[in-house]
């Protein structure tokens, strides 16, 4: 009997030990880190992509909360097709502000704006000094961006200053073409060139006689009361609703990436070259301070975007997709 009890006790202890081991195993399984949320992010070369440079580096090092699949694009229309077309390729995108509104209208409201990431980057480049926009009277401006923000912003400012009919504007197909003409201009050239960064820096490196004579962003803010917004981050509304934690993680990581840009200029310039955002680090280093990289969210973002889109709508409703977006366009804004 005694041996039988001993065997029973030994068997019971064995069972308890196995149950305890299984429980430990279960506990370990439960505290393992969750799998990262994959976010397909498209961004553009140039100023719109600069704020993501540090994020790209952190993502490559697997130090981000989300797992980002980042596509760097040259053509904004590729963002449009990849974001709103059949079999859409992206969950988020950095794009021109007016394109965000077009996407909202095109997708019947399935797009929200998360943040404004780029303010004004437009400059009038000239061999001559300018003291005010009224100095443009009787002058010729060569520009690109016909049918887009550069044309509408320029027209808005010329109208505000009462000189729209007294300035000749000639449009070229690409900013690079305008930059090439400006780089070849003589120091006595009377023609002005409308260029964004980093084309301004490229022009000045090739032709030191050319100056960033006038900041159209400053003029726009003086005329409208809000900053000139050029770029933003958008997200598919259904993706945002289904992945709120991923959105908040992105906003936190992207804000840190933008802050890094302002605090670590040389490192950011090197990252811009590494990831192809701007071709060469020396160009990026000079251009970034004039690219107005920013992070505006919530109610502040809403105010800036509303005013900018209203200007574009008045110039040409098609530029924003026909109609101003509804309040549901603005993520986390009242």
pLDDT of amino acid 225: 84
Average pLDDT of 17-30?
43
Q: How far apart are CA 278 and CA 287, in angstroms?
A: 9
Q: Phi and psi for 96 in degrees, rounded to 5?
A: -60, 150
The region of weakest confidence among 16-25, 65-74, 250-259 is: 16-25
pLDDT of amino acid 183: 95
Q: If you search the block for the tokens 């803010």, which residue do you land on?
A: 221
**Residue 99: band (very low, low, confident or very high) from pLDDT cuts 50, 70, 90:** very high
Q: How far apart are CA 13 and CA 15, in angstroms?
A: 5
Q: How far apart are the first and last CA of the chain?
A: 79
Q: How far is CA 308 from CA 167, 181, 197, 313, 321, in A?
A: 23, 29, 20, 9, 14
pLDDT of amino acid 250: 98
How many CB atoms neighbour CB 329 within 10 A?
A: 23
Give me 187's structure tokens: 């120091």
Average pLDDT in the chain: 88
pLDDT of amino acid 19: 43
- Which is more confident, 47 or 77? 47
Q: How far apart are CA 4 and CA 214, in angstroms?
A: 99
Q: Name the DSSP class of 330.
A: B
Q: Which residues pair with 293 in a beta bridge?
A: 118
Reply yes or no: is the peptide bond before residue 198 cis, omega within 30 of 0.
yes
**Residue 7: band (very low, low, confident or very high) from pLDDT cuts 50, 70, 90:** low
Give the three-state DSSP class for 143.
strand
Note whether 268 and 53 are within 8 A (CB): yes
Q: Encode pLDDT of 277-323 as tens digits.
A: 999 999 999 999 999 999 999 999 999 999 999 988 988 899 999 99
Q: How far apart are CA 278 and CA 290, in angstroms?
A: 14
**Residue 24: band (very low, low, confident or very high) from pLDDT cuts 50, 70, 90:** very low
Note whether 305 and 333 are within 8 A (CB): no
pLDDT of amino acid 88: 77
Average pLDDT of 135-155?
91
Residue 33 has pLDDT above 50, yes or no: no
Q: How far apart are CA 46 and CA 174, in angstroms?
A: 14
How many CB atoms neighbour CB 17 within 10 A?
A: 10
Greatest alpha-carbon pair distance for the chain in Å reads 117
Q: Encode pLDDT of 230-286 as tens digits.
A: 999 999 999 999 999 999 999 999 999 999 999 999 999 999 999 999 999 999 999
> Residue 8: exposed, middle, or buried by beta-carbon count in 10 A (0-12, 13-18, 19+)?
exposed
Q: How far apart are CA 306 and CA 326, in angstroms?
A: 10
Q: How far apart are CA 180 and CA 202, in angstroms?
A: 9
Q: Encode pLDDT of 198-232 as tens digits.
A: 999 999 999 999 999 999 988 998 888 888 999 99
Average pLDDT of 171-184?
93
């Amino acid at each position: 009997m005694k041996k039988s009890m001993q065997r029973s006790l030994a068997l019971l202890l064995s069972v308890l030990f196995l149950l305890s081991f299984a429980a430990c195993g279960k506990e370990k399984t439960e505290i393992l880190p969750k799998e990262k949320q994959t976010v397909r992010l498209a961004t553009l070369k140039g100023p719109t992509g600069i704020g993501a440079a540090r994020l790209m580096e952190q993502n490559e090092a697997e130090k981000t909360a989300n797992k980002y699949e980042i596509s760097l694009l040259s053509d904004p229309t590729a963002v449009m097709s990849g974001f709103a077309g059949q079999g859409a390729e992206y969950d988020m995108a950095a794009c021109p502000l007016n394109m965000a509104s077009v996407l909202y209208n095109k997708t019947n409201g399935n797009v929200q704006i998360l943040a404004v990431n780029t303010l004004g980057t437009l400059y009038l480049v000239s061999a001559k000094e300018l003291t005010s926009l009224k100095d443009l009277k009787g002058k010729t401006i060569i520009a690109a961006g016909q049918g887009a923000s550069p044309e509408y912003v320029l027209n808005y400012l010329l109208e505000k200053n009462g000189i729209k009919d007294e300035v000749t504007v000639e449009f070229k197909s690409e900013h690079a073409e305008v930059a090439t003409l400006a780089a070849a201009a003589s120091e006595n050239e009377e023609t002005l060139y409308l260029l964004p960064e980093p084309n301004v820096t490229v022009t000045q490196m090739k032709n030191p006689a050319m100056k960033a004579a006038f900041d159209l962003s400053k003029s726009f803010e003086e005329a409208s009361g809000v900053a000139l917004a050029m770029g933003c981050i958008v997200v598919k509304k259904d993706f945002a609703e289904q992945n709120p934690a991923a959105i908040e993680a992105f906003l936190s990581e992207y804000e840190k990436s933008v802050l890094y840009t302002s605090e670590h200029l040389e490192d950011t310039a090197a990252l811009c070259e590494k990831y192809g955002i701007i071709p060469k680090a020396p160009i990026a280093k000079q251009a970034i301070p004039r690219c107005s990289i920013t992070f505006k969210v919530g109610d502040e973002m809403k105010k800036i975007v509303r005013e900018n889109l209203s200007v574009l709508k008045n110039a040409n409703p098609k530029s924003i997709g026909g109609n101003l977006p509804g309040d549901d366009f603005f993520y986390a804004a009242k």
